[in-house]
A = this chain, B = another copy of it.
Amino acid sequence: MNWNDRFSNHAERLRASKIRELMKFTSQPGIISFAGGMPDPAVFPESEIQSITGSWSRQEAATAMQYGPTPGYPPLLNTLGELLSSRRAIPMQNREIIITTGAQQALFLASRILINPGDTVLVEEPSFIGGMASFTANGAVLEGVPVRDDGLDLDILEQKLTQSMHAGQRISFLYTIPNFQNPSGITMSLKNRERLYAISREYQLVIIEDDPYGDLYFTGSQNDYKPIAALGDDAPVIYCGSLSKVLCPGFRLGWIAADPRFIEKCILSKQSVDACSPSFTQYLANELLVKKGFNLSLVRTREHYQVKRDRMTAAIQKHFPSVVNCSRPEGGFFIFCRLPNGVSGGKLLAKCIEKNVAFVTGEPFMVDPEEGDRFIRLAYSTADVEQIDTGIEITGAAIKEMIG
């Protein structure tokens, strides 16, 4: 059988993601990995889950194991609605929620509802690989808007919008991660959020706001990391989130909160994609959020990652030459570093892997991959503090060697 003759155009377009290929390698035992943005199992709610399944009623167990409605397990939909309204200040009266199989599916469904093949999608440069993969799989052409120290460059965004209006070009949406962005670690300033909200309203620019890390801030309060979706009710902002970083990724639970007409389309699309997300993990997630001290566990989770962020920042200060320019994230999992001229991220990575330290270069996060070789992303979420010290020391030594 010649399968190549049978594959669809979609299948032909698919390419192996470099970062996922690398992941296989970096999960080898003995390696210090700053590569994957995986939560630390130390904060997983293991005993809480034991206590839930240890005492569920027959009726609860039956619900957890049965098919569920496509939009999601109704009690979890309620719980998420309350959390988004109380914690994130998002006006929920004109929004509905669909629970998705991880936030990855949120990005897949939301973009599938918006993109016609050939449409332009604006993404931050750098941006999240999984988001970009969904958009291109749905046929989008990506265009990057640079990220500055206070987030997306809004002057360049406005230029692009004006140009595209004049050219009659269709822009499907803008994709942004305002809090502790993956991969840059950068947080969009509140001023910029307000301006972006106004731009969205003025240009009727659909925004997909992805906020998987929003609860994991290390300084200030929730109010300092207010979603763009919380700034009003008259701009087309699609708000996506995830339970992967605050409960655990193995549940595969995320969500979209948006205009009911938008959610209705997502529900219809999801019916043919996987019918519903797992009732089993939706039931557990709801119990964890409602009954198992979620607020307290969130405080501990934040502290846990803050210790690691502090440790990595200190190690970078100590071991990296000052010509390396690293972000200092206010939350989330990632530090992004710009290497000095002449130092290739790819070559640095090769050197470090020989010494059992792994991370990823900026390449897969860029619309223009060549730009990416000047950057590396260091995740402090999974490694322990001793590994952080050792790994950063090794990386720093390798950079110094390459500078010569």
The interface of chain A, by Cβ under 8 A from chain B, is 1, 3, 6-11, 14-17, 20, 24, 36, 38-39, 41, 44-46, 49-50, 53-54, 58, 61-70, 100-102, 104-105, 108, 112-116, 119, 130, 133-134, 136-138, 172, 204, 206, 236, 244, 248-252, 259, 261-262, 265, 268-269, 271-281, 283-284
A101: chain B residues at CB < 8 Å are: 101, 252, 274, 277-278
Cα–Cα distance between A278 and B247 once the two chains are bound (Å)? 13
Q: A46-B65, A66-B248, A137-B273 are in contact. List 16 more A-B contacts (CB 8 A).
A: A1-B236, A8-B172, A20-B70, A45-B65, A49-B61, A53-B53, A65-B251, A67-B244, A68-B250, A104-B274, A104-B275, A108-B272, A108-B273, A251-B280, A252-B274, A252-B278
A352 CB → nearest B CB, Å: 23
25 pairs from A and B in contact (CB 8 Å cutoff)? A1-B259, A7-B114, A8-B113, A11-B268, A17-B271, A20-B70, A41-B61, A44-B65, A49-B53, A65-B248, A65-B250, A66-B248, A66-B249, A68-B250, A102-B275, A133-B271, A133-B272, A249-B279, A250-B280, A251-B280, A252-B276, A252-B278, A278-B278, A278-B281, A280-B280
Cα–Cα distance between A283 and B274 once the two chains are bound (Å)? 19
Cα–Cα distance between A262 and B3 once the two chains are bound (Å)? 7
A70, A104, A274, A276 — which one has the most chain B CB atoms within 10 A of its CB?
Answer: A274
A64: chain B residues at CB < 8 Å are: 250
Q: A10 contacts which of B112, B206, B259 (Cβ < 8 Å)?
A: B112
A279: chain B residues at CB < 8 Å are: 249-250, 252
A116, A206, A278 — which one has the most chain B CB atoms within 10 A of its CB?
Answer: A278
Cα–Cα distance between A38 and B251 once the two chains are bound (Å)? 22
Q: A11 contacts which of B41, B61, B265 (Cβ < 8 Å)?
A: B265
Cα–Cα distance between A252 and B41 once the two chains are bound (Å)? 23
Contact call A114/B6, Cβ cutoff below 8 A: yes
